[in-house]
């Protein structure tokens, strides 16, 4: 769990107390970032640049937005997207804003906890968001993204609560295990409900009038808000199957809202559920797919991306263009990291550079599921000693092959235990950095084509360093 910025009260006993605690103690960065993003509109270029700035400040967020930008769900033109500015131009401001909010929610909450309750809530929220967006009669981009984010955040109070390891969370979990009714258990332990906490957070975090309408008591003011509510309810019911009186009632309501027959809607929501699993993969949370009612299971979905020669060529062109002007090392390295992950077909990627002492290589960019601990702990001694010394690259890019004597670092179960790609960066004959890439639990040895493509990307980063050193 993230270290609180102030000592929390011994016990929260009201909606206001929970909203204050979650906003100011547990999740202030998320609250402020969501507030800032929600205030942006696409009225002028400055806000586009502001959104791009939010994304580019975080390598993990940048990679997730670019992965989502290349899914059919968002990009039906199938044109390859390799930069954030290209994503905003091709797919639209609101779609990229939607991807950004989705990625922030997932990363911020899972960095704090991976409790079963949180994973279940995330799976349900993402499933409902995909359903709402797919079911909405096509109007405009803004409406599509509005219902997606509305469904994703409709239960933000519950998501925020389960991301925090409090005594009251443990008490509530114990009551639920005993079979206590959900609402009664919430009132007993929290002195409020998740619904009330959500309404408070929507207000405190300035999440906008549409979401306020979605979570308000009473009837919604628009068909779109009603569609979101029914999508969330349908996602909850689908966890127990697609049949039953309650499910039939919700599907009939959805059918009335979008002007289709209940039978058509029933077929469509099953297709949408499968789409939700794909989006979960793109967001870097494949573990929640088994909690979704789609036709696939986590075992059916290949977690590791495949090599994409067309995308390789596109990103390499962008790199070449970046090097013709005054090269920006940060931009070049971000393109290289993204190219290794998306085009070479490696799930997790890190760029490490020498620290000020010259003794260690420390993380500068990391991306991929399960890499949050890398930011602080993925450190190599430049002399090759220590647990991670076996990963240190030598003269050229190579395939790392683990042996039986390799130790496993405490912060990651796969590093040093699975095949990986490594590539050195040099400056004036000294090793100053390296790229590392693996596929976590997908224990497949990278092939020669992947090594060659990986080498091409690393060479562009090396060229940038060489140009800047002269």
Q: What is the pLDDT of residues 368-411, one digit of tens each?
A: 887 888 999 999 999 999 889 999 988 899 999 887 667 778 88
Q: Compute the average pLDDT of residues 112-119.
A: 90
pLDDT recorded at residue 326 = 76
Average pLDDT over residues 340-349: 91
Mean pLDDT over residues 110-138, rounded?
93
Mean pLDDT of 228-257: 93
Tens-place pLDDT, residues 197-218:
999 999 999 999 999 999 999 9
Q: What is the pLDDT of residues 65-75, one digit of tens each?
A: 988 998 888 88
- For residue 302, pLDDT over 90 is answered with no
Calpha distance 286→338 (Å, rounded): 19
Closest CA to 454 of 388, 398, 411: 398
Return the percent helix, strand and coil in the chain, to nearest 5. Answer: 60, 10, 35
Q: CA-CA distances (angstroms) from residue 102 to 34, 125, 283, 352, 391? A: 10, 10, 8, 27, 34
pLDDT band, very low/low/confident/very high, at 42 (cuts 50, 70, 90): low
pTM reported for the whole predicted model: 0.65
DSSP 214-257: HHSSSS-SSHHHHHHHHHHHHHHHHTT-S-SHHHHHHHHHHHHH
- Give me the sheet containing 360-367, strands edge to edge: 380-381, 360-367, 348-354, 430-438, 420-427, 398-400
DSSP string, 292-316: S-SS--TTTS--SPPP-HHHHHHHH
**Best CA proximity match to 280, nearest among 246, 243, 235:** 235
With a cut of 60, say whether residue 298 has pLDDT above it.
no
- Reported as a pLDDT band with limits 50, 70 and 90, residue 36 is confident
Rounded to whole angstroms, the Cα distance separating 24 from 8 reads 10
């Amino acid at each position: 769990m993230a270290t609180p910025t102030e000592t929390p009260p011994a016990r929260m006993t009201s909606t206001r107390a929970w909203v204050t605690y979650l906003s100011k103690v547990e999740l202030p960065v998320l609250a402020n970032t969501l507030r800032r993003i929600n205030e942006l509109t696409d009225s002028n270029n400055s806000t586009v640049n502001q959104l791009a700035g939010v994304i580019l400040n975080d390598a993990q967020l940048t990679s997730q937005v670019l992965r989502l930008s290349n899914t059919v769900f968002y990009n039906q033109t199938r044109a390859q997207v390799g930069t954030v500015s290209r994503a905003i131009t091709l797919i639209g401001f609101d779609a990229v804003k939607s991807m950004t909010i989705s990625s922030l929610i997932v990363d911020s909450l899972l960095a704090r906890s991976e409790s079963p309750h949180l994973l279940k809530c995330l799976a349900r929220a993402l499933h409902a968001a995909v359903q709402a967006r797919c079911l909405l009669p096509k109007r405009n981009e803004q409406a599509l993204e509005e219902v997606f984010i509305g469904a994703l955040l409709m239960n933000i109070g519950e998501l925020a609560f389960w991301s925090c390891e409090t005594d009251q969370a443990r008490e509530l979990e114990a009551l639920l295990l005993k079979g206590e009714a959900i609402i009664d258990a919430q009132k007993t332990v929290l002195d409020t409900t998740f619904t009330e906490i959500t309404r408070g957070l929507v207000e405190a975090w300035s999440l906008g009038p549409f979401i306020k309408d979605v979570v308000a008591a009473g009837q919604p003011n628009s068909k779109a808000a009603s569609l979101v509510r029914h999508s969330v309810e349908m996602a909850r019911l689908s966890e127990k199957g697609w049949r039953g009186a309650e499910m039939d009632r919700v599907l009939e309501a959805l059918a009335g809202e979008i002007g289709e027959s209940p039978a058509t809607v029933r077929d469509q929501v099953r297709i949408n559920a499968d789409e939700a699993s794909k989006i979960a993969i793109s967001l870097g949370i494949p573990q929640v797919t088994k909690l979704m009612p789609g036709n696939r299971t986590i075992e059916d979905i290949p977690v590791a991306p495949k090599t994409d020669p067309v995308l390789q060529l596109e990103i390499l062109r962008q790199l070449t263009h970046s090097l013709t002007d005054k090269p920006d090392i940060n931009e070049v390295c971000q393109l290289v990291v993204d190219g290794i992950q998306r085009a070479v077909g490696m799930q997790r990627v890190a760029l490490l550079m020498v620290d000020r002492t010259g003794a260690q290589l420390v993380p500068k960019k990391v991306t991929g599921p399960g890499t949050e601990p890398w930011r602080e702990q993925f450190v190599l001694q430049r002399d090759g000693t220590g647990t991670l010394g076996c990963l240190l690259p030598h003269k050229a890019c190579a395939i790392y092959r683990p042996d039986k004597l390799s130790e496993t670092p405490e912060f990651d179960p796969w590093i040093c235990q699975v095949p990986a790609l490594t590539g050195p960066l040099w400056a004036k004959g000294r090793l100053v950095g390296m790229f590392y890439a693996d596929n976590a639990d997908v224990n497949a040895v990278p092939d020669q084509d992947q090594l060659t493509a990986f080498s091409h990307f690393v060479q562009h980063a090396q060229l940038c360093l060489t140009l800047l050193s002269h």
